[in-house]
Amino acid sequence: MIGRLNHVAIAVPDLQAAAEQYRNTLGATVGPAQDEPDHGVTVVFIELPNTKIELLYPLGQDSPIKGFLEKNPAGGIHHMCYEVEDILAARDRLKAEGARVLGNGEPKIGAHGKPVLFLHPKDFNGCLIELEQI
């Protein structure tokens, strides 16, 4: 069901410093910051030859990243995103197998302009999983 690893998301306490570290220290191609109000985050994508890194920073007081950074002030891996061909079919199969879909269970449009869903980390070895329709 899951396809390619789309990205690994890292919550960061300083978005500009993290982006500069990837650009200057690691020599990566770093995209511009973009606000994603529906998800309560500002994101920056780092392009790699085989996948992407998504830097996450809180956008607003209700951001889920704010709570994550309070527990992990230095930042850390927040989630992994896998591609799926049909997000509704993937959701229905996962729910039938007992996996919990976060939110209301309906896909939202993610940072790439495609439908996404998140799966409860307790169902996946402590890792928050994002599914993105290709």
Query: What whole-number distance in Å separates Cα of residue 102 and Cα of residue 132?
Result: 14
Q: Which of 36, 70, 106, 130 is catalytic?
A: 130
For 12, 18, 133, the CA distances from 85, given in Å and listed in that order, are 30, 32, 5
Global pTM value = 0.94
Q: What is the CATH number of the domain that holds 90?
A: 3.10.180.10
Of the pLDDT bands very low, low, confident and very high (cuts 50, 70, 90), residue 26 is very high
The predicted-structure confidence for 58-103, as pLDDT tens digits, reads as follows 999 999 999 999 999 999 999 999 999 999 999 999 999 999 999 9
Residue 35 and residue 105 in contact, taking contact as beta carbons nearer than 8 Å = no
Query: What whole-number distance in Å separates Cα of residue 96 and Cα of residue 116?
Result: 18
Give 104's Cβ-side CA count (13 Å radius). Answer: 3
Query: What whole-number distance in Å separates Cα of residue 121 and Cα of residue 126?
Result: 5
Q: Is 20 a catalytic residue?
A: no
The predicted-structure confidence for 104-129, as pLDDT tens digits, reads as follows 999 999 999 999 999 999 999 999 99
Query: What whole-number distance in Å separates Cα of residue 44 and Cα of residue 47?
Result: 10
Q: 3-class SS at 71?
A: helix
Question: Which range marks the domain in which residue 50 is found?
Answer: 5-133
Number of domains in the chain: 1
Q: Which of 36, 33, 30, 129 is nearest to 83 (CA)?
A: 129
